[in-house]
Amino acid sequence: MSTISVVMPCHNRAHDLGKVLRAYDLQDVGEPFELIAVDDASSDATYDLLNSYQPNAFELRVERLESNQGPAAARNKGISLAKSPIILFVGDDILPATDLVRGHVTAHRRYKEEESAILGRVEWPEDMPVNTLMKHIDGIGAEQFSYYYLQDCQEYDFRHLYTANVSLKRDFIQKEQKWFDTDFRFAALEDAEIAYRLSKNGLKIIYSSVLVGYHYHYHNIWTFCQRQYLTGLMACVLVKKYPEITHKIIGRRWPYQTYFWRMIGLFEDYSPKSAEWLENEVKHLLSAYEWTPSSMLDMLYLKVLNYFFYKGLIHGTFGEGDLSRRVNAVYAHRVLVPLLIWFIKENRRLMEPFPNEHGPWVLNRLKTQKI
pTM for the full predicted model = 0.91
Other C-beta atoms closer than 10 Å to the C-beta of 293 total 10
- The reported pLDDT for the residue numbered 255 is 52
Low-confidence ranges of the chain (pLDDT < 50): 257, 371
State the pLDDT at residue 265.
Answer: 53
Tell me the three state secondary structure of residue 171. Answer: helix
3-state secondary structure 268-287: HHCCHHHHHHHHHHHHHHHH
| Contact criterion met (CB below 8 Å) for 66 and 42 | no
| Burial (Cβ within 10 Å: 0-12, 13-18, ≥19) of residue 266 | middle
pLDDT of residue 247: 87
Q: Where would I find the H helices in the chain?
A: 17-25, 46-52, 71-81, 100-110, 132-137, 170-174, 190-199, 221-241, 246-249, 272-287, 297-318, 322-349, 358-368
Q: Is 332 helix (H, G, I), strand (E, B) or coil?
A: helix
Are the beta carbons of 41 and 65 closer than 8 angstroms?
Answer: yes
Rounded CA-CA distance 303/200 in Å is 33
- What residues pair up with 116 in beta bridges, in sequence order? 204
Per residue in 9-18, pLDDT (tens digit) is: 999 999 999 9
Residue 178, number of CB atoms within 10 A of its CB: 10
Q: Report the candidate in 26, 72, 64, 22 with the shortest Cα–Cα distance to residue 45.
A: 64
pLDDT of residue 318: 85
Strand pairing class (94-96; 204-215): antiparallel
Contact yes or no for 80/170 (Cβ under 8 A): no
pLDDT for position 38: 97
- Among the listed residues 184, 186, 191, 147, the one whose alpha carbon sits nearest the alpha carbon of residue 167: 191
Question: Mind listing the domains of the chain with CATH numbers?
Answer: 4-219 (3.90.550.10), 231-368 (no CATH)
